[in-house]
Every structure is written in C-alpha cells, then in structure tokens.
A and B are shown apart, each in its own frame.
Chain A
Amino acid sequence: MFAFIFKRILYAIPIALAVAAVCFSLVHLAPGDPLTAVIPADAPAEVVAAIKQAYGMDRPLVVQFGAWVQRALQGDLGLSVATGRPVMGDIALALGNTLLLAVAAAVIGFGGGIVLGTLAAFFNGRWIDKLATAIAITGVSVPHYWLGLVLVIVFSVQLDWLPSMGAGADGSGEWRWDWAHLQYLVLPAVTMCFIPMGIVTRTVRATVAEILNAEFVSALRARGLGALAITRHVAKNAAPTVLSVMGLQFGYLLGGSILVETVFSWPGTGFLLNTAIFQRDIPLLQGIILVLAMFFVALNLLVDVVQTLLDPRIKRS
C-alpha cells in the first residue's frame, strides 16, 4: 500500500516539473519584455543591462529555469517587481484566502450536488429529477461573474444584508471566524458554488442511477438489507467516479476564481494574479501560476490514491 502511494508520488514529479517548465516559459513566450514595466522606455542601455543582471535575466533560459526551480523548492519565488517584497509571502496570504473561498464554495456546491444528484437518481424521471436537472443545467450555464453581479445588486445594494467587497471590515486582510468576517464569504462562495454544484449533480445522478439499475442492488434488497445499508453500498460504488470529478472541480475553484475574486475584491490568488497581470509583475505572475498548478498536481495525486483505495478493481501495480 505505501509502496503504491510512494510510486504514485514518484510519477507526479516529472509532471510537476513539466508544469513548472510551462509556467516558466509561458511568461517568456508572451509578447513584450518582462522588464518593460519597471524600466522607463528612455533608460540608457547600461541601466537596462544592470537591471536585467540584477534579476538574472541576462543568462540563458535553461539556466534561469534551473535556478528558478531550485529557489522555488526552498520557498523563494523571487521579489515582486512592483513592490520589491518577496513574492512567496504575498502568495501565501492570498492562497489562504483562496483556499478559504474554495473550501466554502466546495462545501456548498458538493454538498448540494450530492443531495440533488442522489435525489434525482432515486426519483429518476419524476419531478424531483427534473427540478434537479434544471438546477444543474442553470448552474453550469450561467456565467458566474454575471451571477456575482446580480447577487451584489440584490443582497448588497438593494437589501443591504451582506457586504460585497473584501474579506474583512477593517481591511487588514486578517481572517477571523466570526460573523463580521464570515459575512464577506457568503456572496463570493455562493457565486462560485453553482458550477461545481451543477457538475457534481449531473455526475452523481448519472453514476447513482446506473448503479441503482445494476442487478446487485436488487440482490442486496433480496438479502433483506434496508435503505440505509443499500445507500452505503451505492455510495461506495459511486465514490471513485464522484471523487475524481470533485477533485477536478476543486482544482478549478482554486485556479478559476479570478473573475469572482475581482468582482468581490476578495484578496485571493485570483485577485493577486489580476494585479500581477496589470502591473506586468513577472515573478509574482509566475509564482502564482506555479503554486496553483502544483496544487492541481497534488490534488490529482490525492484523487488517484483515494480512488484506488476505494475501488478494489483498480490494480495497485
């Protein structure tokens, strides 16, 4: 078992490196010199060269990449071009906020999706099923930044129930578990929960409906098992499929919240990414993308391992 997990981690290393390489080269492939943002257009050539040397940008790309990876492994993602602060500190803070938002959205979205999907499967073809399917389709079809704006207009502007900007009253960015802070989480989390809820609903519905049609469910009933025991069997059979979809969706929640974080000025990685892009802050940009991508790789690894633990039919070789 541990050998199997260890092996999966080994497999993930080349993937992580490839992802890092893509992150690194993306920035260099983009048009424009990474330093144009900080160097005045009329700066003398020797000043430009000096700045490039200071940032290590005069060396060959491969060397730059190696050095970048080496430092990244030690938690050093360089200095922000715009602020001069270490990129890692800013990212860690933002990542905490993004995780908070993603977990909140996932709890609502996955919870809702599992309940709706299960109900839809058990009441296949009846009105509950149709309602759940309608919610799911609406959830995945509505653009979430638009939904965010509508929620802001209704609940912040018109009803004045919930705040629409930031992550805390004092603006210090420090999170506390009280209503004064939690209320800032509500609207962005609700906005973001709809897509994962729709997708999880549809996955759960299809998976559970297929399992319920299987002969073994009939056989379980023939053994005198009650609804609870049968639900346990169905859940374990559905878990591998549903978990892999939820893992992917959680990845999207982490990486895909740029628009929502921008709409709600939520100080997470998406918001930071936005800032980095507009300020052409290359080290910050690279750092954020790298950290998010690594989370994605780790998440896939986790899903892979859990899936194998749950389904005895997957070979552990």
Chain B
Amino acid sequence: MSHPMVEVRDLRVTFRSEEGPIYAVDGVDLDLAPGETLALLGESGCGKSVTMKSLMRLHPAHKTRIEGSIRIAGEDVLAMNAGALSRLRGKTVAMVFQEPMLAFDPVFTIGEQICEAVRRHEGCSGADARARALEMLERVQIPSARKRLDAYPHEMSGGMRQRAMIALALSCQPKVLLADEPTTALDATVQIQVLLLLKELQREMGMSMIFVTHDVGVAIEVADRTAVMYAGRVIEQGPIDSVMRAPWHPYTQGLLAATVHPGMDRRQALNAIPGSPPQLTRRIPECAFAPRCTLASASCHDPLPPARMDGDRLLRCIQPASAR
C-alpha cells in the first residue's frame, strides 16, 4: 500500500455528560489508501458517526476528549490549530450527511451555500464561485441546475437535496469524502441512483471515501474494503470480498447471518444475534461482545489485546483466525 490517505490509530472519543462519561469510541484503527472506498459497518449506536466526526474534529471541544492519532494526507489532525483545521475541513476532507434537510442552512439558497464554501477555500470571485456551483450541480445531474442555484433547501425533493449536498461536498475537490449513511433517508429507487452517482464521481475525481452504512448489501456494492465496528471498536477490517466470504469475528459472522446478501441461500433462516450491545457509560477493557459470543471462553473477560494483522486483514479477537 502506498502511503495512506487516512490513518487512524487507537482512536478513543469520550464525551463528558451530566450522567458521567460516555466512552463512545474506544479503540478504532482505520486505513484508507488514495482512491479507495472503505465501508464502515455496524449496528446503530456503535460509534460510526462519532468516528467520522472525529476525523474532522467536529465534536464540541469542551465536552469531548479525543485520544490516539489521526493522520489525513500525511497531516496530524489532532495537533492542528483552528486555522489549519478549517483549511482541512471542506478542502481536504468533506462530509456528506445522512439527512440533507438538516445539513443545509434552511435560510440560504443552495447556490449561496456552495459559493460560500468555494470562496472560503479557493478565494475566488463571486462570479467564479457561482460558475463552479453551477458546474457542480450539473455534475450531480440535477435537472435545470441554473434554476436550482436559487432554490432553498425546502424547495427540493429529498433525492435532489442529497445530490446538492454531494455537489457542495465535492465543490472544492476534496481528497477524502466522508459519507455518513448518505442514502438511508432516501426512497429505495433514489437510493440506488445516488449511490451509483457517488461511486462514479469518486472514480472520476480519484477521491478516497469512507462510506458509513449498516446495510451489508450497500457495503458490497460500493466498497473495496470494510471495517466492522462493535461498541466503539473496529473488530474486523479487510478487503470486502474476503470479509464477506469468510468473516472471522463472531460478531461479523452474526451480522452477516442476519442479512440477506448476494449468493446466500434464501431458505437459510435469518438469525439475529441474541442479546444487545453494552452501555457505553463504562469503559469496557475486555471484549465488549463477550456476553453475546458463542465462542467466549474465560480469557475473553481479560483485557482485550490490540488488533492483530493477518495478511491484508485485521482482527480484534483473542481467538486466532485459524480457529474458525
């Protein structure tokens, strides 16, 4: 692998709340090569969005502690001052949010918002920025793009809004795109269109992308590699084909068994994993999956050792991969 675009090591994110600390992310390792797409998988509340926001340091500083290391395009994100951080955001790394209605400012037009971002990063004139905004709206295939520049977010349909959001995110040609469940809020048919569009634009622009989803089918569709999260940790990571074909971690195995995916026998029963994920109000030194794991042994309740690389795959489980 050439030198990575994103490299996250042992990321820990703790929120201060009135009821005490919340250990939302507790040991995340991620690697993303230039031009690569990584699907971040995991059930609701496992810390996918918190991880994404940490990559841009979007959490409120006074309520959040971030430890570990985050390097993007060779730069140490956690060491950046406010100025460097605002140059990184939107320019090197951009984000597409799950609900575009909530991610646009409701009282400014789509055009104004794209222009503002372009002018911030490229320092160009208003006319040039507008030309770029128009170009971007055409690129994401919004019909009558020129008219849409002056539309307010509430005047567009959900699918159009998400296209506009993508146009905004890509307007300054970022090197990394963070897409946090960009299609979850859309209708099924629109979902596929937006997904294909994203994939195509990513190829054209040569970006890296982290794509958050809890839909295994979508992950297979878009990603080169996948990272699976459970209770604030990445527990398995590797090329999507080999992880899907032969998941190593008991949680990944359970997750896949509970999903209908290509090549799977339809008669096979969908068996969800019994039990539920742990509360994150306590730091969990041992394997957080132990209470639900069928392979659990006594040593699973000892502090969990760091992840092990095995070829091009990473596993966070005390049992060696060969045990499966």
Query: What is the interface of chain A, defined by CB distance below 8 A to chain B?
Result: 214-216, 218-226, 229, 233, 236-237, 310-313
Contacts and interface: CB of A to CB of B under 8 A. Distances in A.
Contacts of B106: 216, 237, 312-313
5 contacts: A221-B89, A222-B95, A225-B86, A225-B120, A312-B109
B104 A225 contact: no
Contacts of A236: 105, 107-108
Contact of A224 (B104, B117, B152): B117
Nearest to A221: B58
- Nearest 7 CB-CB pairings of A with B: A224-B90, A224-B89, A219-B103, A223-B90, A215-B102, A223-B117, A312-B152
Contact of B104 (A219, A222, A226): A219
Contacts of A313: 106-107, 152, 154
B107 A219 contact: no
Contact of A223 (B99, B107, B109, B120): B120
A229 B105 contact: no
B168 interface: yes
B116 A229 contact: yes
A317 to B, nearest CB: 14
Contacts of B102: 214-216, 219
A237 B104 CA distance: 12
A222 B56 contact: yes
Contact of B87 (A219, A224, A229): A224
A229 B120 contact: yes
Contacts, number: 71
Contacts of B87: 224
A171 B179 CA distance: 71
Given A224-B88, A229-B120, 19 more contacts: A215-B99, A221-B56, A221-B89, A222-B56, A222-B94, A223-B117, A223-B168, A224-B86, A224-B87, A224-B89, A224-B121, A225-B116, A225-B117, A225-B120, A226-B120, A310-B107, A312-B106, A312-B107, A312-B152
B230 interface: no
Contacts of A220: 105
Interface centre among B88, B95, B106 (most CB of A within 10 A): B106
Interface in B218-257: none
Contact of B103 (A216, A229, A310, A311): A216
B48 interface: no
B66 to A, nearest CB: 15
B148 interface: no
A71 B119 CA distance: 58
Contacts of B58: 218, 221-222
B97 interface: yes
Contacts of B91: 224
B120 A224 contact: yes
B200 to A, nearest CB: 23
Interface in B75-103: 86-91, 94-95, 97, 99, 102-103
A206 B84 CA distance: 32
A191 B6 CA distance: 59
B90 A216 contact: no
Nearest to A220: B105
A310 B106 CA distance: 11
Contacts of A233: 105, 108
A222 to B, nearest CB: 5
A142 to B, nearest CB: 32
Given A216-B105, A311-B107, A222 B90 contact: yes
Contacts of A226: 86, 120
A216 to B, nearest CB: 5
Interface centre among A224, A226, A310 (most CB of B within 10 A): A224
Contacts of B117: 223-225
Contacts of B94: 222-223
A214 B168 CA distance: 19
Contacts of B152: 312-313
A237 B89 CA distance: 23
B116 A237 contact: no
Interface string B39-77: 000000000000001001010000000000000000000
Nearest to A237: B107
A224 B154 CA distance: 23
A312 B110 CA distance: 12
B24 to A, nearest CB: 15
A219 B97 contact: yes
Nearest to B102: A215
A226 B94 CA distance: 15
